[in-house]
Structure 1
């Protein structure tokens, strides 16, 4: 009886870990930030999203990118789950800081978060990106063509929070 109970507990743990490990595969980013959401955020009509979902030895990555019809603004969001035997999300997040020395730490979202602004002006080359670490995942939200980096950061935090709530 005791052995049977131990087996059931072990099987339940294995099932739960497996279910959580593959939950990212079932995360449909299009239901979190819809086309109409993207239009409201960017203030213009957007084209259908460019979607990428891939699994490889490093883990699983799912991303969406919306461009305005004029192609002068964009919104990107990405969720990367890392295979811990290769490199954990925490290790990958720490590498971001060495690759981008302009990262600004952001408090109050995820386990760790950092923000960067690249370029200037109001064209597509002016980008802001928020990186958020949660568990073994990194959520990335980026915007291009937005002139106010503070407004972009607030929008990115809102989007990241919606995604984090589903992880």
Structure 2
């Protein structure tokens, strides 16, 4: 006479089998193409065709500010809270938004005077890719990014000259600008 398996063995076997199937399906889904939603742009009108689709259009990068100099340089716009990396031909190769400090540099021409790989910022946050380019009322003004990629905490009335970047933008700026690289600050 054949021995019967206890019910706990059946439940354990079925649970293990179901878990294996779910894991296999999850791995398959992770390697499959992911759907993207079409994004309607403001002012886009519906088409008369029932099969029309809207393809998302990447927003164009803001134009390099006029009178920001020429040649290879870093351009920082105080009003736009944005940086452009400009190659020797005068073409912007990358642009990104920044979080300005509470102390802004005056519009003008500067250059990177000191680069520091990492340190603790005046706000107590560990930062990296620190690139100093001027001083305003005794406050150093520099580009940097937080090690953890976070935005800066509120200044609470303190004078801070750090212009904080996203982590990947900080790495790009660090690779682009050596000591002596020109910095153009515009309104």
Higher share in helix: 1
- TM-score bucket (shorter structure): under 0.3
TM-score, normalisation: structure 2: 0.25
* Rg (Cα) greater in structure: 2
Q: Greater RCO between the two (CA within 8 Å, min separation 6)?
A: 2
